[in-house]
Amino acid sequence: MFSTSTAPAHPATSITLYAARGEYEAAQVLYRPASAATGVSLNATALSGPGGASIPVSEITVRRQYNHPNVVMHGDGIWLKEYEVPPAGGTSFYDALVDNTPISVNVGYAQAYHYSVHVPAGQPAGVYTGSVTVKSSAGDVPIPVTVRVYPVTVPPANQSTLKQNNWFASVGWDYKGAELAIPEQYANAAAYSPNWWKVIASFARNQAKHRNNVIYADFQALLIPDTTIDAAGNYSFGWATFDRFVELFEDAGAMQYIYTPTLLEPHPNRDIGGKRPQLEMLKRGSDGKPQKVLVDPNTPETTAYLNKLFPALKAHLDAKGWTDKFYMSALDEPTETAQVTAATWFYDIYTTYFPDPLTNEAHGYTFLPGAADNITTFTPYTDNYEDHTGYWQAQRLKGKELWLYVCIVPQDYQVNRLIGMHLAKSRLLPWLVWKIGGTGFQHWGWNYWAYKPDDVFRGYDTFDGPQNGDSYIVRPDKARYDVYDSVRSETQLDGAEDYELLNQLAAVKPVTARAIADTVITDIATFERSGQAVTERHKQILDALASADAESQFPYTDDFSDASSAKNWLVPINRASGQQESSWSVSGGEFVQPQAGAGWDKAVVNLKGRAYRDVAASVDLRITGVSATGGQENWAGLMVRNFSGTEMDTGYLVAQRNNGEVFIVRSETTLARASVPGYVPGQRSRLRVVARGDTITVYAGANAAPLLTVTDKAYQAGDIALITGGAAARFDNVKVNPETNPAEGRAVAATSSYDGDGWSPQGVVDGERGSVTGRMGWSSHSNLTTDHTESITVDLGSTKPISRVDLYPRGDTGNIGQGFPVDFTVQVSADRSTWTTVATRTGFATPGTGAQTFPFPTTDVRYVKVEGTKLGRDPNGHYRMQFAEIEVAGGNLAAGRAVSTSSSYEGDGWSRTALTDGQTRSAPGYSMGWSSHGASTANATVDLAGPTRFTSVVLRPRSDGEALGAGFPVDYTLQVSADNVTWSTVATKAGQARPGISGETLSFAPVTARYVRIAATKLSADPVGDPRLQLAELEVR
């Protein structure tokens, strides 16, 4: 918001926050008086909670936001492509958070305040209420406050999983502006003076709060006050100042790691620069005191020096218990091989004394793999990471740490923390690190408050001077020798807390964690700009952590007969232009990527807001053109388990070339390849991937047998995407089965089998419900002229709760239903020793198309067996048992099923199909669920695709922020039917209260039905007051 902002159409009149224990959560309050007001300030009360618990006022902070008049977005080394524009124009932005002292506010001026609550680590979970009052000459305005504390705890900064390193200026580093930052801003604060130490202590407290747990300490500069060098060049290293410095951060809870500035610097002669770096070395000055000098590396003098310095450093770190916390850094943004050579010399000596070191360097625009060989932690600039994802990920998979960093760049459509950008970008920096499997974030400017407009360093006016936000995220509180936070520092803190919560969620529900993250940020340019949207995802993480619900599952099928299905797919944004990378559209009942030269890694489209672990994914594809580069080696296929659904260098690329070769690639490494027999360039081909645990199996063409099988544990959960490489292609019949049918792709055993003409044992679990050329299903093959007994058994791999078996008859034209058994049983077992018969049929008539469904009470099952004791005949009159497919179902029986409704609002993430898409968390723009539209009553019907036994229906409410439970029906009935004509009521509700996150579970005596309908006769209002029936999900169990 800006000082010129006006009130929105539906302004919030209360504050609702959702927090884990140990978190800071905040809201913005805007005061815009109708006439000039004086004495404006905010007054907060304590928050009262369950059992007499409270959050005291001491844990609540109210600060006024400072309006900076001269924020630079264009010029002076910066040219933002994407930025916020104040409503009345101009360059004034809120950023600094200053004291909440009474002020005057002019008429029509929107003064912003930052209200923050810290939840102590031991706070009891529950709902806390209180208020914050806007006080002014115009009268007091109380604002109700509600804080929901979850039974989830964020660890303190010094126990974090995210390593956050915002470089801060103290002493050393560049020995210029960094050393002037404090004394130029604070009175009488020369280095090591009492006031200087007071400032450093305030830094430590602030960084502990903001989870900056990697302290930027120049150990060599901090040696200078206590080190002596005699005339013969003998060193006596003194560690007292270094220890005092580090211990301030350790005692404050900010020090989990120490990171020293680089010791190899560009040559001061700019014509030589990085081509011949120099070593920062302590030498005896003319006054007899140590001083830092730059000297050539890899000389007898510098080699001898490092062989004195490094063992002394190791011995001291060992004594303090800091060795495993210390990061050494030789280079910053290397660009030249000479720098690599010098760093190799440097690290060879270092590792002599630190055999298991932590080393780290930032890598800028220049991709210089040789430099990365020397270090244990990589910190590429986001563009560098994006352009060479495969390399950086391959290094991560080898055990190296991966961090990211930003600075004055990027200035385009990516995340960064510059003032003129969307504030959400600051929060999303740690999310991006999490998305790529990274463990750290770095930025060069926490408090670099000095600049040199004429090559002379001087202090910044950090409040009213020209600024863009690159070189600092806090400002000096000169009177108290402290610092003022900013909305950016608080928002980045939110992101660091989100990172911790995502890691906790991923440990127990990795698919849910990935799915939530995907609705916030897909890649470096495809992400949410709305701060409210990110805040809602934070709540979803907390809800998922607190819930006992199982992992989310997102079944998906798409034959592209409806052009609107394109809304379920996400095309990545070009970071430079802000436009889509490639052109995808639904045309002729297919999903089409028409550009043969669209690029090797950008012609990709991601299934939005979903994630998968164990999954079977398949698609029909046809390559319609190839670029001159690569020709018939160009390809089309699937991405499975990739971290960012819009790229090809994480997860597994499974694709088919137009010469018939199918391959699996992981982060630029080819894991397997083989040719599809009989493939003709340009022909339609089926590609299917089954990923379970560490095993990835690929099927291609008309072959029921696996073409490729690999074992690889690098990527365990991620996205699904369609992708082309240098090829135009058409895709159809996408099917994603996340174990909602756990029989697909499983091992099969049969008493006999015919292998040929598209029949095979594996064909009965290949995901093809109809019999098509090359994929007919399974057929027995013994005693063809005599009726006899045959059986087929599917091994589900492990026990699962199952309540239904579906048998699909052969479906080839003219032969539908032939070979289906006449007398048979369906049996289940947990151990293949003890069997339970769940269905017995005699004299079963030859079926038509579609599933023959056999429901039974939920049972823990590993093996499913169909035994035919009287067989049907095939078209040749032979006795056979034949099925096109065997499927099983359990758990949520409505997942992925068809829905019909009395009305439907289709937009903003609402759709009819979203009622059963597996997404229980409402995500605006992705999947909100289903909403009725324009009527005072409403109903929705789910077709379970066959008779199904169930005992409960769960109605999940919309769950987006404060709209939780809005649109939930007040009066309604739950009905079931076998034929969608005659209905029976199994539950009735009148006066339904607005539910919480778990929704409403309606339980009843077991019923067997095909259709389930909710019929609402009295609706509640959505957030803008319109009567609607709105549900995030309907589950049948």
d(CA 129, CA 127): 7
Q: At what angle do helices 487-508 and 510-518 cross, to 10 degrees?
A: 150
3 state SS for 801-817: EEEEEEEECCCCCCCCC
Give domain status of residue 224, yes or no: yes
Same domain, residue pair 365 and 441: yes
Bigger pLDDT: 926 vs 956: 956
Which H helix or E strand runs over 491? helix 487-508
Output the six-digit token pair for 8.
Answer: 């929105």
CB 334 within 8 A of CB 361: yes
For residue 208, what pLDDT band results from cuts at 50, 70 and 90?
A: very high
Domain with 69, as residue range(s), is 15-153
Instruction: Give me the number of domains the chain comprises.
Output: 5
Residues 171-175, mean pLDDT to the nearest whole number: 96
Give domain status of residue 848, yes or no: yes
CB 55 within 8 A of CB 129: no
Same domain, residue pair 230 and 303: yes
Q: Residue 453: its pLDDT value, please?
A: 64
Output the six-digit token pair for 48.
Answer: 């009262």
Give domain status of residue 1032, yes or no: yes
pLDDT tens sequence across 849-894:
999 999 999 999 999 999 999 999 999 999 999 999 999 999 999 9
Q: Residue 599: its pLDDT value, please?
A: 56
Give domain status of residue 218, yes or no: yes
DSSP letters along 600-663, please?
TTTEEEEETT--BSSEEEEEEEEEEEE-TTTGGG-EEEEEEEESSTT-SSSSEEEEEETTSEEE
pTM above 0.85, yes or no: yes
Give domain status of residue 551, yes or no: no
Bridge partners (DSSP) of residue 691 are 615, 696
d(CA 662, CA 997): 45
pLDDT tens sequence across 736-783:
999 999 999 999 999 999 999 999 999 999 999 998 888 999 999 999
CB 29 within 8 A of CB 143: yes
> Which CATH number fits the domain that encloses residue 777?
2.60.120.260
CB 781 within 8 A of CB 737: no
> Which CATH number fits the domain that encloses residue 132?
2.60.40.10
DSSP letters along 566-579, please?
GGGEEPPBPTTT-S
Q: Please state, rounded to an integer, the average pLDDT across all residues of the chain.
A: 96
Q: Look at residue 120 and give its three-state secondary structure.
A: coil
Phi and psi torsions of 1036, nearest 5° = -120, 125
Q: Residue 421: its pLDDT value, please?
A: 98
Same domain, residue pair 863 and 905: no
Same domain, residue pair 939 and 859: no
CB 386 within 8 A of CB 409: no
Same domain, residue pair 702 and 769: no
Residues 60-67, mean pLDDT to the nearest whole number: 99
Neighbour-count burial for 633-642, b at 16+ CB within 10 Å, e otherwise: ebbbbbbbbb
What percent of the chain is predicted at pLDDT more than 90?
93
For residue 126, what pLDDT band results from cuts at 50, 70 and 90?
A: very high
CB 893 within 8 A of CB 953: no
Instruction: Say how many CA atoms lie within 13 Å of 746 toward its Cβ.
Output: 24
> Which CATH number fits the domain that encloses residue 401?
3.20.20
Same domain, residue pair 433 and 311: yes
**Would the pLDDT of 454 be above 70?**
no
**Would the pLDDT of 204 be above 90?**
yes
Residues 365-380, mean pLDDT to the nearest whole number: 90
For residue 710, the Cα-to-chain-centroid distance in whole angstroms is: 26
CB 417 within 8 A of CB 426: yes
d(CA 552, CA 921): 10
Q: Residue 598: its pLDDT value, please?
A: 59
Q: Residue 371: its pLDDT value, please?
A: 84
Q: Residue 961: its pLDDT value, please?
A: 86
Q: Residue 232: its pLDDT value, please?
A: 95
E-strand ranges in 891-999 read 898-901, 930-931, 938-956, 971-977, 984-989
pLDDT tens sequence across 656-686:
999 999 999 999 999 999 999 999 999 999 9
Residues 123-142, mean pLDDT to the nearest whole number: 98
Give the end-to-end CA distance of the chain in Å, rounded to a whole number: 46
CB 292 within 8 A of CB 278: no
Q: Where does a domain end: 153, 172, 189?
A: 153
d(CA 487, CA 583): 38
Output the six-digit token pair for 972.
Answer: 């309604």
The amino acid at 813: T
Output the six-digit token pair for 622.
Answer: 């046809």
Give domain status of residue 539, yes or no: no
Q: Residue 772: its pLDDT value, please?
A: 86
Q: At what angle do helices 300-320 and 337-353 cross, to 10 degrees?
A: 50
Same domain, residue pair 685 and 751: no
Output the six-digit token pair for 840.
Answer: 């017995």
- What is the Cα gyration radius of the chain? 32
pLDDT tens sequence across 622-650:
999 999 989 999 999 999 999 998 889 99
Same domain, residue pair 411 and 477: yes
d(CA 169, CA 178): 5
Q: At what angle do helices 510-518 and 424-435 cross, to 10 degrees?
A: 140
Bridge partners (DSSP) of residue 280 are 294
For residue 370, what pLDDT band results from cuts at 50, 70 and 90?
A: confident
Give domain status of residue 478, yes or no: yes
Q: Residue 274: its pLDDT value, please?
A: 64
Same domain, residue pair 104 and 198: no
Output the six-digit token pair for 547.
Answer: 């819930």
Degrees to nearest 5, angle at CA 147 with 142 and 150: 175
Q: Where does a domain end: 836, 857, 889?
A: 889
Give domain status of residue 199, yes or no: yes
Same domain, residue pair 828 and 849: yes
**Would the pLDDT of 4 be above 80?**
yes
What percent of the chain is predicted at pLDDT more than 70?
99
pLDDT tens sequence across 989-1004:
999 999 999 999 999 9
The amino acid at 272: I
**Sequence-separated (6 or more) residues with CB below 8 Å from residue 818:** 809, 810, 846, 872, 873, 874, 875, 882
For residue 372, what pLDDT band results from cuts at 50, 70 and 90?
A: confident
d(CA 670, CA 664): 6
Same domain, residue pair 716 and 641: yes
CB 690 within 8 A of CB 761: no
Same domain, residue pair 923 and 990: yes
* CA-closest candidate to residue 350, choices 279, 265, 245: 279
**Would the pLDDT of 600 be above 60?**
no
Q: Residue 273: its pLDDT value, please?
A: 64
Q: Where does a domain end: 153, 186, 215?
A: 153
